[in-house]
Amino acid sequence: MSRLERLAWFGASLLLCLVIGLAWKYVTDQGLVSRVFLPSPDRTFTALFAGLSTGDLGAQMLATIERMLLGWALALLIGVALGAAIGVLRFARELLGLSLDFLRPLPASALIPVAIAFFGLSQTMVLGVIAFGTLWPMLLATVQGFAAVEPRLLEVGRMLRFNRFEVIAKFALPNALPDILAGMRLGLTVALILSVVGEMLAGQQGLGLRILLAARAFRSPDLFAGVILLGIIGFASNLLLALAEKRLLRWRQA
């Protein structure tokens, strides 16, 4: 896609956002939905800017981001290491295959009561749930990437008398990197979702708890301000990973 085409699509996306915003304003101005449940855009953004400038919204946003990144990083370390072992070593696939097939379909939210029983309504519980739910996209992507290494590349490595570590570092890892990065982007989205859910259930400070309290008090501007901020966090984190992916995979564009 040429640069002009990218700019055109970007402009179309901005236009669509503008249309949605105007439709939102029209609905609230006409009173089609009660403002108790759907605030106007100006009230929402006023609450957003006030919370960031004079309130504690910024601190709660940082708490959610920190929780999201910690759980995601823990899942990344486990997922990539375990996925590489499963993708490269046959005995690891045979040993862990049944257990992983049993655990993979379990939704992370279903394990929250179990995590509460072990760790209580604590930060550790929330991080454990985030890490468990975030693990699977990165683990499965890593397994797929390492398992799909071209066999002829492995033969080349053996002919060059590379040891197993060198074969993994020089051939398997670059081949698996696109899949790993795709799993990282998906995992970060899951981490944000589970951070919010965990904060709501465990009463941990963050955007999830703020949104829940705003909903209970019928403070719809604060509620929608928190939702918009979550969208911004998700968009920014995905954009940063997309830029990192583009930089790390420049060799594919050569």
Residue-level pLDDT at 228: 92
Residue-level pLDDT at 154: 67
- Tell me how far apart the alpha carbons of residues 3 and 223 are, in angstroms, rounded to a whole number: 38
Average pLDDT of the residues in 215-235:
91
Is pLDDT at 74 greater than 90 in this prediction?
yes
Residue-level pLDDT at 157: 67
Q: Nearest CA to 188 among 251, 237, 118?
A: 237
Torsion (CA) 201, 206, 212, 214 in degrees, nearest 10: 160
Summarize pLDDT for 43-66 with one digit per residue, the tens: 998 989 988 888 788 889 999 999
Is pLDDT at 197 greater than 70 in this prediction?
yes
Q: Are residues 192 and 233 in contact, defined by beta-carbon separation less than 8 angstroms?
A: yes
Residue-level pLDDT at 253: 58
User: Per mean pLDDT, which range of 23-27, 100-104, 243-247 is the poorest?
Assistant: 100-104
Q: What is the pTM of this model?
A: 0.86
What structural domains and CATH numbers belong to the chain? 62-249 (1.10.3720.10)
195: CB partners within 8 A, 6+ apart: 64, 67, 68, 71, 126, 130, 206, 208
Summarize pLDDT for 153-183 with one digit per residue, the tens: 666 666 777 766 777 777 777 788 888 898 9
Under DSSP, the state recorded for 110 is G
